[in-house]
């Protein structure tokens, strides 16, 4: 993963839940995601929110997650961390689709 010198690396996830997933299930996903961050020492910040666009370009994606890591190595550590792997096994089956991107914040 290419990254800038000394720049934070952002990991952005856009999620579209499957039809029929309840609000309670979505809230459980958010709670578990928030708890996941306690296990990641290279994670500098975690934010999430629901899509609010009035332009209506969201293509059905309803939730956005922004994680900021100290480096690209921190992202790699996150992706292979056992707590993340277990969370992904719980979370991903609830999604119709998702997009994930990483970039060096300037």
Q: Write the CB contacts of 2 (distance below 8 Å, at least 6 apart in sequence).
A: 72, 104
Does residue 2 fall inside a structural domain?
Answer: no
Does residue 52 fall inside a structural domain?
Answer: yes
pLDDT tens digit sequence for 39-72: 998 899 999 999 998 888 899 999 999 999 999 9
Contact 15, 61 (CB under 8 A): yes
Active site residue 58: no
Instruction: Identify the CA nearest to 68 among candidates 27, 97, 35, 106.
Output: 106
pLDDT tens digit sequence for 8-25: 999 999 999 999 999 999
Instruction: Provide the whole-model pTM.
Output: 0.86
In terms of residue numbers, what domain contains 57?
A: 22-104
Contact 65, 48 (CB under 8 A): yes
Active site residue 81: yes
- Of 78, 83, 84, 87, the active-site residue reads 78
- Of 63, 81, 83, 87, the active-site residue reads 81
CATH of the domain at 79: 3.30.70.100
Does residue 71 fall inside a structural domain?
Answer: yes
């Amino acid at each position: 993963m290419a990254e800038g010198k000394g720049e934070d690396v952002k990991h952005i996830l856009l999620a579209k839940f499957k039809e029929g997933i309840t609000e309670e299930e979505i809230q459980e996903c958010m709670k578990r995601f928030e708890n996941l961050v306690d296990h990641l020492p290279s994670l500098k910040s975690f934010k999430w929110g629901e899509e609010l666009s009035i332009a209506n370009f969201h293509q059905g994606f309803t939730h956005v997650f922004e994680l900021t890591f100290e480096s690209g190595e921190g992202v790699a550590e996150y992706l292979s961390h056992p707590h993340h792997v277990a969370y992904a096994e719980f979370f991903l089956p609830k999604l119709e689709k998702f997009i994930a991107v990483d970039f060096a914040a300037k």
